Structure 1
Amino acid sequence: MSTQNQIDYHRIAKAIEYIRTHYQFQPGLEEIAENVHLSPAHFQKMFTDWAGTSPKKFLQFISLEHAKNLLKEEKASLFDAAYETGLSSTSRLHDLFVTIEGMSPAEYKNGGKNLDINYHFSESPFGNIMIASTEKGICYMAFEINKESALGNLKAQFPNASFSEKQDQLQRNALSIFEKDWTRLNNIKLHLRGTDFQLKVWKSLLSIPMGKLSTYGNLASKIENPKASRAVGTAIGSNPVAFLIPCHRVIQASGHIGGYRWGSERKQLILGWESSHIYSGDEN
């Protein structure tokens, strides 16, 4: 991410944090712009370019009431219906294109021995990102600031693998998920190291359409283990692939956002960004 993009991203993040913490007072454009030291006109343009909607509309998307309404919309059949509409629904397009293949028991047990992993640092609307892939698919994706610690985290996941810093087509295809024209996406394949239970939870996350939300309890019920909310939460917290496996769409039953492996502020950013792209047609 360029220096200017980093500055813009942090300003947007600061603005959204201000909106989130002052939502009950309904801050206006001038007040938010002043908080990030920009003129109202400049801030309005920067924010709209990033979010695809106005600060005022975005404020609605990240409110507690919006989250509660989304949870109310979740139907019992959501888990089974997530794939039924093909390409007809933009809100489901993201998830239709992501498939998960678990690593073999041997690959899981030996920490990635004989695996060749390519990794690359890139940028996203939500900050710098590291993405890594095997010949079968994406095996790791995380929002990272420091490259050295990021590589250390990746190697901890696959202590016996071989690593090369280079970008491949699998990575480029996956990163295209951040573009606005999702109709041109190819299938995104993930090659993940996890227990059977973790893989089941991660696959269930793909059933939550973009712009919608679920809770830990609902996910536990949908994988036919209603008493496993705590275990589901642990599996979600160990998700190795940011954004593509949408663990950010799981919130508390109260409507509060809750925690996130890569920061609750970033989770708020992502949820607002997704809602703005799904509901931008409702802009007044």
Structure 2
Amino acid sequence: MTPDHRYHYHVIRRAIAEIDAASAPLSLDELAGRMGMSPAHFQRLFSRWVGVSPKRYQQYLALGHARSLLQERFTTLDTADAVGLSGSGRLHDLFLKWESMSPGDYARGGDGLTVHWGFFDSPFGRALVMGTNKGICGIGFVEETGEDAAMADLAARWPRAEFTENRAALRPWAQAAFFGQTTEPTPLHVIGTPLQIKVWEALLAIPSGHVTTYSEIAESIGNRRAVRAVGSAVGRNPISFLIPCHRAIRKSGALGGYHWGLPVKRAILAWEAARTEADASATNRVPRG
């Protein structure tokens, strides 16, 4: 049975608020009670959604968790070559290809381009997905911003394109993006300036469950003083989650910004870290023969 992922995110969003408001870590009984659930139901929901206990997940949601990730799961992007896409070894397994729109397409603002769009449920609430005939060109989360604002935001990237609602065409890509339900790899079709494309390539080199810093990305693209420009490019990433802008944080361990709201960024980072831990635990339990 497929979980109601949108409902799960609403519970997580409420849990974040309760955890932030508490003066000390909450027990399972306390947290479940504040969610209006029985401890058993709360435990089942979390275990099904992320693979670890509510107590452990609460640690991942803590405000200081990003600092811990920086110490324990920091990814160094050594050189610009390390984040190149030749061989695609570090690309998401679902990607068939990464293709950037031509400078001409960028300059024309999408003139002559048809962009399909639709709203879908995701592990992090309602999401807007956009795509051309070449692949996904936009993903935005709407729980914090609202559907109208998300639509206006992404559509503004291609001011002269023609937009048409077409959930049926996008559904296979959306299911692959959020739940890994696919029989064919999923292509990405992005539009951006040369600097933005370099930054987004660097983001793709950060493994799930890990983080890097804005300054590290600037170093990797050969412009160590462009930290502010890197931060702006991260924020302009059109394909959230798949191009993992949420994995970029500040040197201090502070989360920094997130285009679709910091609660979503915290939830995604915690979800990925917890799943990485759960996968590692499952691997260690596999008998070796």
TM-score in same-fold range (> 0.5): yes
Partner SS state of residue 191, structure 1: strand
The C-alpha deviation readout for 1:179-231, integer Å capped at 9, x for no partner, is 2x58x674332212211001111111001100000111111111111111111
Q: Secondary structure at the match of 1:163?
A: strand
Whole-angstrom distance in 1 between the partners of 2:176 and 2:63: 30
Q: Structure 2: which 5+ runs fail to align?
A: none
Q: Where does 1:69-88 land on structure 2 (aligned, <5 Å)?
A: 69-72=68-71, 73-74=73-74, 76=76, 80=82
Tell me which amino acid in the other structure corresponds to 2:209: G
Which aligned pairs between 1:137-152 and structure 2 lie closer than 5 A? 137-145=135-143, 146-152=146-152
1:60 paired residue number: 59
Q: Is the alpha carbon distance of 1:261 and 1:251 closer, same or farther for their aligned partners in structure 2, counting shifts above 3 Å?
A: same
SS of alignment partner, residue 26 of structure 1: coil
How far the C-alpha of 1:252 sits from its partner, in A, is 1.6
Tell me, in whole angstroms, the C-alpha distance in 2 between the residues paired with 1:64 and 1:127: 21
Which of 188, 199, 203 is equivalent to 2:197? 199
Q: 1:95–1:210: 8 Å Cα contact kept in structure 2?
A: no
1:162 aligns with 2:197: no
Q: Kindly, what percent of the aligned residue pairs are identical?
A: 40
Relative to the length of structure 1, the TM-score reads 0.84
Question: 8 Å contact 1:142–1:240 — kept in the other structure?
Answer: yes
On the 8 A contact 1:99/1:189 being kept in 2, the answer is: yes
The 1:10/1:249 distance shift into structure 2, 3 A limit, reads same
User: What TM-score comes out, normalization by structure 2 length?
Assistant: 0.83
Q: 1:267 to 1:75 in 2, by over 3 A?
A: closer
Taking a change above 3 Å as real, the CA distance of residues 133 and 263 of structure 1, as seen in their structure-2 partners, is same
2:54 and 2:78 map into 1 onto residues whose CA distance is 30
Q: Which residue of 2 aligns with 1:15?
A: 15
Question: Which residues of 2 match residues 1-284 of structure 1 at below 5 A?
Answer: 6-22=6-22, 25-63=24-62, 66-72=65-71, 73-74=73-74, 76=76, 80=82, 94=92, 97=95, 99-145=97-143, 146-167=146-167, 172-179=172-179, 186-280=184-278, 281-282=280-281
SS at match of 2:137: strand
Check conservation: 1:108, 1:194, Cα contact below 8 A.
yes
1:208 partner amino acid: I
Change (3 A) 1:270 1:277: same
Per-residue deviation, residues 236-260 of structure 1 (Å, max 9, x unmatched): 1111111111000111212222221
Q: Which runs of 5+ in 1 are unaligned?
A: none
User: How many angstroms apart in 2 are the aligned matches of 1:35 and 1:48?
Assistant: 18
